[in-house]
Amino acid sequence: MSKYDIQVAEENCTGCLRCQLACSDLYTKAFNPSEAMIRVVVSGADCSIHFTEECNECGVCADNCFFAALEKSKKENDQ
Ligand code: SF4
Ligand code: SF4
C-alpha cells in the first residue's frame, strides 16, 4: 500500500469529521469517529488536527476532505 505525507491546513477545516468517518469505516467497518486514527478537535471556530501513532499514512482521510484541510503527497521513497 502506498504511503503519503499528509499536509494539514487547520485554517480550512470545518469540523465536518468526514476524515474520521472515512478512517473508521475503512479500518473498523463502522462509522465511529472515536475509532479513527485522525482526530479533529473543534474549539469554537478553530479546529486542531492530530494523527494517532497507529496511523499508517494511507491518505484516505485526505481523499475524503472536501475543504482542502488535508492534502496528500506520495512519499519520495515510496515507489
Ligand atoms: S480535516 Fe477535512 S474532512 Fe476532516 S473535519 Fe476538517 S474539513 Fe472535515
Ligand atoms: S492516513 Fe489513513 S490511517 Fe491515517 S488517519 Fe488517515 S485514513 Fe486513517
Ligand 1 midpoint to CA 19 (Å): 6
Which residue from 34, 41, 65 has its CB within 8 A of the most atoms of ligand 1, so it is best to mutate? 65
pLDDT tens, position by position, 8-36:
999 999 999 999 999 999 999 999 999 99
Tell me the average pLDDT of the chain: 95
Share of the chain above pLDDT 70, in %: 97
Residue 37 CB burial class (10 angstroms; 0-12, 13-18, ≥19): buried
Boundaries of every domain in the chain: 4-73
DSSP character at residue 24: H
| DSSP three-state, residue 72 | strand
Q: Take atom 4 of ligand 2 and give the residue whose Cα is closest.
A: 55
CATH of domain 4-73: 3.30.70.20
Residue 21 Cβ inside 6 Å of ligand 2? The answer reads no
